[in-house]
Amino acid sequence: MSSVSQPQTPVFRKLSHAITDTLGETSLKVIPWSYSACNFTYALLGDRGGYFAKLFTDRSAGYESALKRYLRERRLLGQNWPIAMPKLRYFSDADQLLVTDEIQGHGVLHFLENRQERAALEQILRWTAAFHEAAQSVPVCEDALIFCQREALFDASALSDAQKATLKAHPIDRLVITKGDMSLQNFKFTAEGAVPIDFEYAGFRPFEYDLVVLIDQMARFSKLSKADLSVLVADIYKSHRPALQSTFLADTLNILSRVCTITPVDKALN
């Protein structure tokens, strides 16, 4: 008989047979893994392999509804991507629960402890560039200054005339599906490269959005300045998208990483 050992939530008890039957397991051990203001995650251990479960909740105010975040991530993981992505194995719309295969790899701490920021960025940006190339996009016609002002990502009065000129010279001609949450802990590193998790804040934005968030995240742990990280990120990213025409990318990233107030729910993919 199939069974699931119980953590402190009734959802696994209710879905015990459905989960084990779908995964082809006779039993699963459920280990609470982490929790945030709006999600619970669990490690699931079976005879055939390991899995990762994510339960979306409405336990905190100030976030999008659990259902909206769940459906966004389920829809993205359910697509056929030509790049490394978590493999969706089970989902329950009624309970807002996703189960994916466990990703065998290490976290970013391995790089940070050894002062290997560039090695971490190489893997993350190789995946990010490939994701942006593969993702759905929509054409627009504006510049970085207009876009950021329209989306209220910063107070334009805080910019110098030179900074405004740089952003105005940086064209935004296409919005792509961006990951949104580029937190360093949301990447696993395998022998084949970086594999991301957590797509609940994906959305149509300029590709620069993901790069700015990544710079902000890395700056919290690196001794490199945001200016140095902007040059490094721009160079690595463009090396994986050689057709990209973006002369002022490093300057634009440096300005935006200093002045933008980024929240993942901005223009999330509905």
Residue 113 confidence class, pLDDT cut points 50, 70, 90? confident
Is the CA virtual torsion 10, 13, 14, 15 positive or negative? positive
Res 76: pLDDT: 96
Res 139: pLDDT: 95
Res 263: pLDDT: 58
Look at residue 253 and tell me whether its pLDDT is greater than 80: yes
Taking only the tens place, the pLDDT of each residue in 182-241 is 999 999 999 999 999 999 999 999 999 999 999 999 999 988 999 999 999 999 999 999
Look at residue 4 and tell me whether its pLDDT is greater than 80: no
Look at residue 8 and tell me whether its pLDDT is greater than 70: no
Determine the 3-state secondary structure of 55 from DSSP: strand
- Across residues 83-89, what is the average pLDDT? 96
Mean of the per-residue pLDDT values for the chain? Answer: 88
Give the predicted TM-score (pTM) of the model. 0.89
Q: Please tell me the least confidently modeled range out of 60-64, 90-94, 95-99, 168-172.
A: 60-64
Q: Strands (DSSP E) along 7-75, which ranges?
A: 27-35, 39-46, 50-56
**pLDDT over 90 percentage in the chain:** 64
Res 248: pLDDT: 83
Res 244: pLDDT: 87
Taking only the tens place, the pLDDT of each residue in 36-47 is 778 899 999 999
